[in-house]
Amino acid sequence: MIGYAYEDIRDQIDACNADVLLIGGDLFDETTAESDAEKFVSVLETIQKPKYGIYYVYGNHDGLVEDWVPGAKDAILNAGVKILADEMVTIGEDIQLIGCLASFFFPERNNPL
């Protein structure tokens, strides 16, 4: 059973009948319970898939997600979400979505945002 707040969020998103769903990051941090991550993934698995898909970019708290919630990245990918990490996709005819990894989580990149 998905938690009430998660069901409500899913229902609101489904009611929008959106063409694309963008998830802007900062979903996880060191205080995220594994059960909350599982509920979130359950929403992703049961949501009506938008025409152009679901996209996620990492926030500044998400860079260490695998340390905080092991398996979260794979679960999100398995739910049909495209993670944009230093890449760009074009949806529709001319809309570009760009996701960048935060350089402070990856200092070896020496790549200021």
18-22, 35-39, 100-104, range with the lowest pLDDT: 100-104
Strands 87-91 and 81-84: unpaired
What's the confidence (pLDDT) of residue 89?
Answer: 95
Q: Is the pLDDT of residue 51 over 90?
A: yes
* Owning domain of residue 18: 4-84
Cα separation, 68 vs 45, in Å, equals 21
3-12, 58-67, 82-91, 103-112, range with the lowest pLDDT: 103-112
Q: Is the pLDDT of residue 109 over 60?
A: no
SS3 at position 83 = strand
Cα separation, 87 vs 84, in Å, equals 6
Residue 107 lies in a domain: no
Residue 108 lies in a domain: no
Residue 9 lies in a domain: yes
Residue 109 lies in a domain: no
Give ∠ CA 99-101-39 in degrees, rounded to 5: 75
Give the relative orientation of helices 34-46 and 4-16 as an angle to the nearest 10 degrees. 30
What's the confidence (pLDDT) of residue 113?
Answer: 43
What is the number of domains present in the chain?
1
